Structure 1
Amino acid sequence: MADDGSTKGATWPLPKFRFEVDLGTTLQGISFQEVSGLEAESQLIEYRKTNNPLFSVEKMPGLAKHGNVTMKKGIFVNDNTFWDWYAEIKMNTVKRRNVLIKLLDETGNITMQWQLNNAFPTKVSGSDLKSEGNEIAIESLEIAFEQMTITNGH
């Protein structure tokens, strides 16, 4: 008999199409079309001791490095959310926020959450415009951040 997932302890991969983003205290539950760039890597440190009997280097993890996260959403009337945040950038100062990206299950409960600490916008892109197009207008926001924390739902 096939497992339909109703038994306790069943493991199924999570679908990636239901998610929401909180860009700060007043900007919660924003629906996005796409979020990409959730990645982390450790820079590599190579070191060779002078008394090492092997003729090779030791490899150690170094500083953590995070790429920028890009988010895309439809443009709505009187919604300047991305542009307003980007406009706060001054010479070496910007209002940093903790951004939450939440992967939801079919009932809307959080199954996985990425918290991007000290995030700020680095790029905002408006939609391309075509007189013969029939697509919706999409804008994108690229943000940099200092640390990523991942938690699982309750």
Structure 2
Amino acid sequence: MAGETQNTTWPLPKFYFSVTGIPGNPVFQEVTGLETEVQVIEYRAGNSSTFSPIKMPGLAKVGNVTMKKGIFVTDDTLWTWFNSITMNTIARSNIVVNLLDQTGTAQYKWQLNNAFPTKLTGTDLKSDGNEVAVESIEIAYETMTITIA
């Protein structure tokens, strides 16, 4: 209606993002698994008058992140990074996933601390398909920090 103020605050689109901190700076088309949770500890004191436990927050836990990108003829950055793992010796890195606004400015950041690759998956091959070849890498990390601009 005329004269009313308009709400100009909109959620950020999820298709405009960047990933930094991976050797070779590959460009990813999908990032999934940015999650953290707290384990629940149930406790009941021996002299409690209620017949149910209380719940307390316990250790924080993070899952692995999966990133997908197209396969290019001369691009072996993910394989080189994954292949650098030898019996508990890997250069860990801090990976930052940035959610960008329309100007390309990072508005929301997930920092994955002490990250390293754990699984590399090649593309599915089909003789009758017409899809682009996509590879994925699974990354383990110790802690996650979220920053809002």
| Superposition TM-score, scaled by structure 1 size | 0.88
1:12 partner amino acid: W
2:29 is matched with which residue?
33
With normalisation by structure 2, the TM-score equals 0.91
Q: CA deviation at 1:4?
A: 6.5
Which of 65, 68, 71 aligns to 1:72? It is 68
The 2-side partners of 1:43 and 1:145 are apart by 17
Return the alpha-carbon distance in structure 1 between the equivalents of residues 77 and 64 of structure 2.
19
What are the equivalent positions in structure 2 for 1:13-92 lying under 5 Å apart? 13-24=11-22, 27-28=24-25, 30-92=26-88
Q: Which residues of structure 1 form unaligned runs of 5+?
A: 6-10
CA shift for structure 1 position 119: 0.5
Greater than 6 Å deviation, 4+ residue runs: none
- Number of paired residues? 146
Provide the residue aligned with 2:144 in structure 1.
148
Q: Which runs of 5+ in 2 are unaligned?
A: none
Equivalent residue number for residue 8 of structure 1: none
Note the alpha carbon deviations across 1:42-85, whole angstroms, 9 max, x for none.
11111111122211111111111111100001111221111111
Contact 1:101 1:114 in 2 (8 A): yes
Change (3 A) 1:117 1:72: same
Deviation at residue 3 of structure 1 after TM alignment: 2.3
For the residues of structure 1 that align with 2:7 and 2:117, how far apart are their CA atoms? 43
SS in 1 for 2:81: helix
Could you list the per-position Cα deviations for residues 104-144 of structure 1 after superposition, in whole angstroms to 9, with x for gaps in the alignment?
01110001000000011110011112232221110000001
Report if aligned partners of 1:75, 1:138 keep a CA contact under 8 Å in 2.
Answer: yes
Structure 1 window deviating more from structure 2 (111-120 vs 54-63): it is 54-63
8 Å CA contact 1:36, 1:71 repeated in 2? yes
1:3 paired to 2:1 = no
| CA contact 1:19–1:31 (8 Å) conserved in 2 | no
CA distance in 2, matches of 1:27, 1:47: 48
Structure 1: distance between partners of 2:21 and 2:131:
26
Residues 114 and 149, structure 1, Cα contact 8 Å, conserved in 2: yes
How far apart, CA to CA, are the structure 2 residues paired with 1:128 and 1:51? 59
Instruction: Give the whole-Å Cα distance in 2 for the aligned partners of 1:148 and 1:63.
Output: 14
CA drift of 1:23 comes to 2.7
Q: Give me the CA root mean square deviation.
A: 1.5
